[in-house]
Structure 1
Amino acid sequence: MVDKRARFGSVPRSVSRRSMLAGAAAAGFVVPAVMTGAGAGPAAAAPVRVTAAAPKIRRVTVYAEELAGGQFGYGLKPGEATVPGPILEIVEGDTLEITLVNNTDRRLSIHPHGVEYDTTSDGSPMNDSFNEPGEVRKYTWRTQGSVEAEDGRWLPGSAGYWHYHDHAMNGEHGTEGIRTGLYGALIVRRPGDLLPQRQYTVVFNDMTINNKMAPDIPVIEANLGERVEFIAIGHGNTFHTFHLHAHRWAENRTGYLEGPNDPSRVIDNRDLNPGDSFGFQVEAGHGVGPGVWMYHCHVQFHADGGMVGVFLVRNADGSMPEGAQEALDRYHDHGPHHPHQQHGGH
């Protein structure tokens, strides 16, 4: 099978926007199609929000496949599985029906966080909910909006940045499936939520980001002023913190302040531990301009060990900012990381 990794070292000087987008997509980063055209910028699309509509059933087929290097991934078409898997997205009140096709020789499943489901759609061996090799199985996930209880309290709805993952490979909890890449982002939005122009899933999985280490983590990018959505997910056995350079967000459901007096804490660093997930949107380069900005785990020996990615903010017209290519070259020239050699296998 073709290795879908986009090694940063293969990107030439004067890197093209199209080739970098292709590399990000191949590695599981999701870039909305509306913004993939050459020269697309903030003026190319007016702000779009989720509109209210009658609840509906969304049906999608997901294919689980083995990838190069002993990894596994989910994809929306045969032969297109990635690590992480595709972003699955619905609106509160909708139902998502997933037909999971297991095109591997391993037992596996798909298990969600944050939504509702019957035991038959749990994705756990305890509930006899999984796919044997070659098996096709349907999983149904439901969502609902917040509701007021009889005593005046409000019960939370399903809206949030969630995730899904295998729960059946090599045991009762899908440990091998998660380790080898069977995971992805699940977003439940509310009517009125602002939609992004670009989306990226960033998964801290033990000592890797999306099962890669610097400098092999593909560059993610946007043009100055574009709305960029990060979905951050934690997996594995290790404590992490997620830090994004030069950008901030509100520590609430969306990452946006609801108004000038919103008391939500504004942050640029947050714990990201196994099973956790959160998301936010930022305007690329807001207040700081275009350039090359790191995102990384702020546990120091994790960053030293290779948990470092790059967020390239291009000029508004899509061109490379001054000094950006040199910064990208320095990222690559820093060389591969070997955390087990440096830190005794921690």
Structure 2
Amino acid sequence: MTEDSASPRPLPGGLPRRTMLAGAAAAVLTPAAVALTGTSALAAPGGRGAGETHRITMYAEDLGDGRVGYGLAPGQATIPGPVLEMYEGDTMEITLVNTTDRSLSIHPHGVLYETTSDGSPFNDSFNGPGETRTYVWRTTTETSMGRVSRPGSAGYWHYHDHAMGTPHGTGGLQAGLYGALIVRRRGDVLPDRQFTVVFNGMLINNASAPHTPMFEARLGETVEFICIGHGDMFHTFHLHAHRWANTRTGYLEGPRDSSEVIDNKDLNPGSSFGFQVVAGEGVGAGAWMYHCHVQFHSDGGMAGVFLVRNEDGSMPAGAQAAIDRFHEHEGGHGN
């Protein structure tokens, strides 16, 4: 199983070729990501800014075997759902079509919304069976207050159901109703490849090794991981042979930035973070493991493969044998 954004080429405005949103129109290029066109207005300094409003329709669909997912078109639901992206100052209006026979919703983290867009039964904000409802999410830019500033909305966030099974959406989360939400700041580095990793109970993207996703990139490509936690268990996310800064973006802000550099970070229920790495930088192409570093979790199947191919796309020496061993030993072991 591979989640792989096809080699993106820059669009006007420097944004990668994923899914484009322009006002009310959405052109779907891949079901895994939603990006904005380069026509989005720059957010004004301070306050909410003068961003663009993006209107999309999402579909919640049964996928069989107790699984339910979100998608950008009928028949395109996935687990995780599509990556939704905005710039600070933008607004997103999501019309959610519930095609199932159960109540569900969509609830975001990290952005602003009224009680009518809360996505929880507590505020009578959800889709009944077969119903359609619109949710409005807003973002802000950083606001200067003299010596200090109020933070804007930029960050690696997420969205999920908050109504199926219980008033907290426990059934929906178990079924796969979740996805990544990114609010970028103008000037942020945009990736070549983008992957969502969700630790949910003892599963990764609702799967267990050896059926966990194998993420693929080519040597030297910029790869973005969005990591999300759900369920009832403590986890940590570890990526072999790659490091990132423990900052909003995963980058250091210059040679004097003393932020710690890490390769393992807590990923617990409701939390999320993201970072970018250069695939194989300093270590070369190969099959690299990612996994939860709680040992009985990785032994129990919470592990997967990050395959860094050669620059020409060919399989590096030893990689296929490593992948075969991973499948033979299922969860495997990692340090």
Q: TM-score range by the shorter chain?
A: 0.7 to 0.9
Matched, 1:85 2:81: yes
C-alpha displacement at 1:58, in angstroms? 0.7
Work out which of the residue numbers 132, 139, 149 in structure 2 matches 1:143: 139
Aligned to 1:73: 69
Aligned to 1:57: 53
Q: Does structure 2 retain, via aligned residues, the 8 Å contact 1:121–1:129?
A: yes
Matched, 1:296 2:284: no
Distance 1:324 1:300, change over 3 A: same
| SS at structure 2 position matched to 1:247 | coil
In the alignment, structure 2 segments of 5+ residues that lack a partner are 16-35, 43-49
Q: Does structure 1 retain, via aligned residues, the 8 Å contact 2:298–2:331?
A: no
Matched, 1:120 2:116: yes
C-alpha displacement at 1:69, in angstroms? 1.1
Aligned to 1:106: 102
C-alpha displacement at 1:240, in angstroms? 0.2
Distance 1:336 1:284, change over 3 A: closer
- Relative to the length of structure 2, the TM-score reads 0.87
Aligned to 1:202: 197
Q: Does structure 2 retain, via aligned residues, the 8 Å contact 1:161–1:279?
A: yes
Which whole-Å CA distance do the structure 2 matches of 1:34 and 1:311 have between them? 16
| SS at structure 1 position matched to 2:65 | helix
Aligned length: 301
Aligned to 1:32: 5
The structure whose residues are more often strand, as a share, is: 2
Q: Does structure 2 retain, via aligned residues, the 8 Å contact 1:48–1:194?
A: no
Matched, 1:156 2:151: yes
Aligned to 2:208: 213
What one-letter code is carried by the residue in structure 1 that aligns with 2:297?
H
C-alpha displacement at 1:218, in angstroms? 2.4
What one-letter code is carried by the residue in structure 1 that aligns with 2:220?
G
| SS at structure 2 position matched to 1:99 | strand
C-alpha displacement at 1:336, in angstroms? 7.0
What one-letter code is carried by the residue in structure 2 that aligns with 1:257?
L
Which whole-Å CA distance do the structure 2 matches of 1:152 and 1:141 have between them? 29
Matched, 1:190 2:179: no
In the alignment, structure 1 segments of 5+ residues that lack a partner are 1-5, 7-23, 36-43, 338-346
Root-mean-square deviation (CA), in Å? 1.8
> Structure 1: which 4+ aligned runs deviate by more than 3 Å?
31-35, 44-52
Deviates more, 1:45-54 or 1:250-259: 45-54
The structure whose residues are more often helix, as a share, is: 1
Which whole-Å CA distance do the structure 1 matches of 2:10 and 2:282 have between them? 21
Aligned to 2:279: 284
| SS at structure 2 position matched to 1:67 | strand
Matched, 1:244 2:239: yes
- Relative to the length of structure 1, the TM-score reads 0.84
Which whole-Å CA distance do the structure 2 matches of 1:122 and 1:284 have between them? 38
Give the fraction of aligned pairs with identical amino acids, expressed as a percent.
67
Work out which of the residue numbers 208, 219, 223 in structure 2 matches 1:228: 223
Greater RCO, 1 or 2 (C-alpha within 8 Å, sep 6+): 1
